Structure 1
Amino acid sequence: MERLDQVICIEAVTVNPSRHKQDLPEPTNQAELDERLRDYMPIKFGSPLYSKLNKKYWEKEHVSGKSLVIAIHDYHRTGSMVWSRTALSEYLYAKRIRLTKDSNGNKSIIKEDIDFHEYEGKKIPSGFFKLPESENISAVLFTNSATITKFNRMGKIAGLGSQDIKMIRVGKLFDPDPEAFEPIPFSIDIDHPSYQEVWSESIVMFHNSNALYPVDPALFPDITHIRFHDGDYQEITRPYDVMSSVTIVITPTDKFED
């Protein structure tokens, strides 16, 4: 693609279901979620990203000397993209940030370096942007909303489809308050006059600080940008951007009992 006279090459890849064994079921509580995010999901993300790195697209004539972005989406289980974003960030930068509270309710941030991810005998080094030749990858692009439900919502906003179908969207918004430690929960009827949604919502670009050909965030002003520099995240986030959500679809055939 070309924007403002800069050519950016994009290669897409997906996180898919395992072919030789059954993937873990969806987490049902916070402990299970933390376990998935710690090692299982970084390995799931790492496999397709490492495969793309080994393709060495930057050696191709039409890519050489240009920014190269890998776009990735998690389709390994239904709905898994709603909760897996944190694992991608930790794998890319080999950094884990935890929010904690003491007995008095005081909040603090703990930052941890990650050396590797290990699960059921498989072990990979953490830090995709630290791998040899990863400097040829300018950024990794991720969204958790490249789904059929997204297209259904956008179609409904545009006035397409049946007016008898009701959509309720429930999720979490980014809180622009610098003192905030948690996202803002929300629930809204898609038909409500105040509801708005754009195609760029929930898209995140993770920048490689070591990239040979960095991507200027100004080229994509309507998405979230994250980079890691001098031991800290530097984030440019759209205020109240949707971090994750699910959409409840109600049709005329649905029956409810008191």
Structure 2
Amino acid sequence: MGGAAVRFHKTLRSKIDRRYDKYSHVQGQPFAIALADFHAPGSMMWSREALITYLYGEYAEVQNLDGVQAAVSVAVQALLDNEGTPAGLFRSGENDGLSAIVFSNGCTIAKFGRVMQTMSGIDYGFTRTRVGMIFDRTPGVLEGIPFCLDVSSREYQELWPQRYEPWSAELEVFHNPFATYPFPRNVLPEAQHWFRRDGSIVCEAFYETSVLWSETHVTNKK
């Protein structure tokens, strides 16, 4: 939470208060806001969890349950600011004009370089090494899988079924369960979609590989 969640709140509130959903060309249709965090160098590597907590008003905490480490949902009522701003933008119907938040923690110049290199096979004289953490889908596992791969390597390219890094990787859609006009999943079918189901927050991914955070090191081959 902390300052990152407060920044997300201020940014989103400034957009929501303008009621773009009431504009004539938007009325009667889903309305979403695209968001990325560039507030500080490397901020995309750690601020994602703050956004999820702010939107849904809860976060996952590791607790010991009968001798077993497990992730437990913890409700959050307010942000850590002086105003006591309520957490949970999507916890009530107050913001039903907003259908979803579209977010990416990988929309950087490095993304363009990786995609073009893995699609074309041309490195233009540079080595791109991506370092980060991949979500581990093994039941009960609470930590991600660290990786450090040359993007030109077969191992890296086989992280995705296309055998190259797709533009849509890292793209996430956070759905508002109270939206008057829900955001259609088929608009961004390859994105990772978050929504509420039976009282719980559910995440469904198109790709088996889900990068939690990463950074790319670019070096000259000469």
Report the TM-score when normalising by structure 2. 0.88
Amino acid at match of 2:190: D
Report how far residue 132 of structure 1 moved: 6.3
Moved over 4 A (4+): 101-104
Q: Report what 1:256 is aligned to.
A: none
Please tell me whether residue 250 in structure 1 is matched to residue 205 in structure 2.
no
**Structure 1 segment 184-195 matched on structure 2, within 5 A:** 184-194=145-155, 195=157
Amino acid at match of 1:117: L
Match of residue 201, structure 1, among 169, 194, 205 = 169
Amino acid at match of 2:153: H
Match of residue 78, structure 2, among 104, 107, 116 = 116
Q: Report what 1:162 is aligned to.
A: 124
Match of residue 87, structure 1, among 29, 50, 53 = 50
Conserved 8 A contact 1:173-1:183: yes
Q: Report what 2:181 is aligned to.
A: 213
Report how far residue 122 of structure 1 moved: 4.4
Structure 1 unaligned blocks of 5 or more? 1-37, 254-258
Q: Report what 1:172 is aligned to.
A: 133
Report the TM-score when normalising by structure 1. 0.76
Structure 2 unaligned blocks of 5 or more? 158-163
- Does 88-97 or 177-186 show the bigger shift? 177-186
Supply the distance in 2 between the matched residues of 1:63 and 1:159 (Cα, whole angstroms). Answer: 41
Please tell me whether residue 241 in structure 1 is matched to residue 197 in structure 2.
no
Conserved 8 A contact 1:69-1:137: yes
Are the structure 2 counterparts of residues 108 and 159 from structure 1 closer, same or farther at C-alpha, using a change threshold of 3 Å? closer
Measured on the aligned residues, the alpha-carbon RMSD in Å equals 2.0
Supply the distance in 1 between the matched residues of 2:188 and 2:80 (Cα, whole angstroms). Answer: 35
Please tell me whether residue 127 in structure 1 is matched to residue 96 in structure 2.
no
Are the structure 2 counterparts of residues 220 and 101 from structure 1 closer, same or farther at C-alpha, using a change threshold of 3 Å? same
Task: Give the number of the structure with larger relative contact order, counting CA–CA contacts within 8 Å between residues 6 or more apart.
Answer: 2
Amino acid at match of 1:137: L
Please tell me whether residue 224 in structure 1 is matched to residue 186 in structure 2.
no
Report how far residue 127 of structure 1 moved: 1.0
Report how far residue 171 of structure 1 moved: 0.9
Please tell me whether residue 42 in structure 1 is matched to residue 10 in structure 2.
no
Supply the distance in 1 between the matched residues of 2:219 and 2:83 (Cα, whole angstroms). Answer: 42
**Structure 1 segment 8-47 matched on structure 2, within 5 A:** 38-47=1-10
Please tell me whether residue 56 in structure 1 is matched to residue 19 in structure 2.
yes
Secondary structure in 2 matching 1:234 = strand
